[in-house]
Amino acid sequence: MPQQKSLYHFEPAKGWINDPNGLCRYKGRYHAFFQYNPYSLHWDRMHWGHAVSDDLLHWEELPIALYPDQAYDNGLGCFSGSALVEGDTLYLMYTSVSEKYGQTQSLVVSDGKHFEKYAGNPVIRTNPLDPSNRDFRDPKVFRWGTEYRMVCGTGVDGLASILLYGSVDLIHWEYMGPIFQSRNYGPVAECPDLYPVDGRWILMFSRMEKVRTEQFILGDFDGNRFIPESFQQPEKGPNFYAPQTFYDDTASDGKTATNPADIAAGNSDDKTDGAGRRILIGWMPHYAPLPSDAVRNGAFTIPREVHVREGQICLDPIREAVPLLQPWHVSTAAGPAGTASGLANTAVGFSGNTADTTKKPSDRILSDGDIREIFHADGTCETYYESESRG
């Protein structure tokens, strides 16, 4: 039987997919780039795949955006990064990996269809904590007033760090120091993200441990320092890693909302958080062997809206996905994606890697082919493949 493709979770037509990259809304459409190996079902030399959507549920796969074709990225390729929209221009910042330079950070200028790597790449050539550039990756860029800030992950001798940079032009970057360091959350802080939500700031990173999980830290940011308040893990997985967020400035009434980062930096007269939303998309890795006839490996989660309620970081399904949810206490036989039975749940849940059968009437589930995503009333989530939960 051919490998089934989900209806609402993005998957490539073929090949390997991992981290979401460059998430943004640009020229009226949602863009999602992703770590991609089009040549096999396994991780290897990385490209940037590209897909677009009008509703965050139905995706159109486009031609590959970035190939590892330069001296500074011709080793393991084009690793993860982020997008920044300035008027009609789309900027991409990614980690370029080569045998000669190691892991460095590079810039791309785009109109959404054509992608030109900056002639002066890499724009950041050296890890300030480790000149070998062994683990120095995943730049996430955002505006701060009239300037830019960027966080980048690294790890040296078991000390995981998130580094902060500042720039006025996206080309010349000043290292501002580490904003987070610890030996308790894995040896490398991968895929960091720093963003404002509901008047607070969240620092997020992926823990590169044996059991890979996502760490969220609620706190405050003043443009130079991040002050942590509480460490949280609203996403329980287990098939979840390397998420990224973006600010969707299209409000539910169709108007354009003010980015909270501009408000925090004093770059707007609007003193509210605007009417937009912070959207998060994660990667769903497979941990069990694929069928022998598989043609693709990996998927994106359904996008979530990030909120802070009473000091708790909450991940809610986007409003577009709400009609697809069913109460978790309903149980029928699983069927093909898109059928009545295929959008029902099985009585299986996960908390980390352990079964969790505690259900509440307000808990909801989204089933799409083999994918299950449970949204709990307290704002936590569980994400897994049904076939792997049975194994």
CA 343 – CA 341 distance, rounded (Å): 5
CA quadruple 233, 237, 243, 247: dihedral sign: negative
Q: Which residues contact 12 (CB under 8 A, 6 or more apart)?
A: 34, 36, 38, 49, 61, 296
- List % helix, strand, coil for the chain (3-state, nearest 5): 5, 50, 45
Catalytic machinery residues: 19
Instruction: For residue 77, give both structure tokens.
Output: 């390729």
DSSP 151-196: EEEEEETTEEEEEEEEESSSSSEEEEEEEEEESSS-SSEEEEEEEE
- Choose among 113, 89, 205, 208: nearest CA to 158: 208
CA 74 – CA 9 distance, rounded (Å): 30
Q: Check if the beta carbon of residue 184 is closer than 8 Å to that of residue 213.
A: no
Q: Give backbone dihedrals phi and psi of 168, rounded to 5 degrees, phi first.
A: -110, -10
- Choose among 383, 175, 233, 378: nearest CA to 298: 383
DSSP single-letter state for residue 331: B
**Residue-level length of the chain:** 391
Instruction: List beta partners, residue 372.
Output: 367, 384
DSSP 192-247: EEEEEETTEEEEEEEE-SSS-EEEEEEEEE-SS-EEEEEEE--EEEES-EEEEEEE
Instruction: For residue 172, give both structure tokens.
Output: 């010349």
Instruction: List beta partners, residue 111.
Output: none
Q: Exposure of 231 by Cβ count < 10 A (0-12 exposed, 13-18 middle, 19+ buried)? A: middle
